[in-house]
Amino acid sequence: MSELDDGGEWFSCPIPNEADGGLVTLAYGEGGRLSRRLIRERIVSRFDNEQLRSLGDAALLETQSKKLAFSTDGYTVTPLFFPGGDIGQLAVFGTVNDLAVSGAVPRWLSLAIIIEEGLPWSVFDRVLDSIHSAAALATVAIVTGDTKVVPRGAADRLFITTSGIGEVLAPAPPGPAALRPDDVLLVSGPIGCHGAAILCARERFDFEPPPSSDCAPLTAPLVALHSAGITPRAVRDATRGGVAAVLHEWADACQLTCVVEEAAIPIDTQVRAVCELLGLDPLHLANEGTFVLATRPELVEPTLTVLRQFAVSRRAVVIGRVSPRRITPVTVVRGLGREVPLDEPSGAPLPRIC
């Protein structure tokens, strides 16, 4: 739906309806219900195969001697630099994390960059330096790539696409379809940090200190779980759409209900303040260094012991359980003990976050 404001400017509703004339809206890129609808109805339906159908973070590919994971992602964040990270770190860590949560050790990345004419060399060099440092921290090699320059107005300063290949550590997590009633849900740390950091930087909200992104590589704690002989049921980094989007994807895959306890979910003070001020739910905000993990009840304590050895997952906690299927696929027990449905993200409260 579109309408004119008093100044004659056109605005459009981010949530599409039949009156939108068949146009793509920002809501389809936000990682929630509409993103899944776009992928299933328009992409998977055309290119259907076993790997694509699973809708995982990476495709698991068999060779004669190894099992590999392959992932790709595009990055269009604005602003390019924000507290706790920048587009260069996102481009490396985002693809590295997609491989890591798929049960692989990231090894190689490609780097494709689209540059808008007029971008200062100082900005470009700063991004490249950040990519170099992030790749070194994540112990991956950038082995191929491409660069394009487009006219002014054809892009928003800088777009990056990275693809990654990793070696799968067997056994890999079987995935959300393997979830069973009474499985336990964990989160690796405070949620919503990246979304809050981008929002405050973009809108110039004067919080002191400002929220800082959790942008970080997740390989170390997940490899440590494997070394300890612990195989989770499922792992997913909670990026666009946040924890809520992950839980809805999992509930859809296993046809069970995910129940989380609001009081158990770690939320930093700055993120909580932003959400309370703007009426946002931190479960819907993006993360770039936080994952959701599901495991069998008897593996909860060993899993937490391993995760808490690493800075990126030191604040890992149990946030809920999987229950038999109810009418609602995901519920949250709010502060007063009332269990209510947790909506799947379907709008576009904060586009262009990664």
Give dist(CA 281, CA 302) in Å, integer: 30
Nearest to 122 by CA among 161, 150, 80: 80
Give span(s): CATH 3.90.650.10, the chain.
176-341
Q: Both tokens of residue 287?
A: 């993360």
pLDDT at 3: 43
The C-alpha atoms of residue 345 and residue 27 are separated, in whole angstroms, by: 9
Q: Which CATH superfamily is domain 31-168 in?
A: PurM-like, N-terminal domain (3.30.1330.10)
Tell the CATH topology of 176-341.
Phosphoribosyl-aminoimidazole Synthetase; Chain A, domain 2 (3.90.650)
CB 38 within 8 A of CB 48: no
What span, in angstroms and rounded, lies between the C-alpha atoms of 81 and 62?
Answer: 38
Digits of tens for pLDDT over the chain (354 positions)? 444 444 444 444 555 554 456 888 877 876 677 777 888 888 888 888 777 777 667 787 887 778 999 999 999 999 999 999 999 999 999 999 999 999 999 999 999 999 999 999 999 999 999 999 999 999 999 999 999 999 999 999 999 999 999 999 999 999 999 999 999 999 999 999 999 999 999 999 988 899 999 999 999 999 999 999 999 999 999 999 999 999 999 999 999 999 999 999 999 999 999 999 999 999 999 999 999 999 999 999 999 999 999 999 999 999 999 999 999 999 999 988 899 999 987 765 677 888
Measured distance CA(72)–CA(300) in Å, rounded:
31
Q: What's the pLDDT score for residue 38?
A: 82
Residue range(s) of every CATH 3.30.1330.10 domain in the chain:
31-168
Distance CA 315, CA 313 (A): 5
Strand stretches in 233-290, DSSP E: 234-237, 257-261
What is the predicted pLDDT for the residue at 348? Answer: 59
Residue 104: CB atoms within 10 A of its CB come to 28
The Cα–Cα gap between 226 and 169 comes to 7
242: closest CA among 135, 353, 316, 154? 353
The answer to whether 237 and 191 are in contact (CB under 8 A) is: no
Instruction: Identify the pLDDT of residue 345.
Output: 78
Cα–Cα dist 16/23, whole Å: 8
pLDDT of res. 347: 64
pLDDT number for residue 225: 98
88, containing H or E segment: helix 87-100
Q: Are 102 and 69 in contact (CB under 8 A)?
A: yes
CA dihedral 15, 21, 22, 27 (to 10 degrees): -20
- pLDDT of 49 reads 79
Specify the DSSP element, H or E, that contains 269: helix 269-278
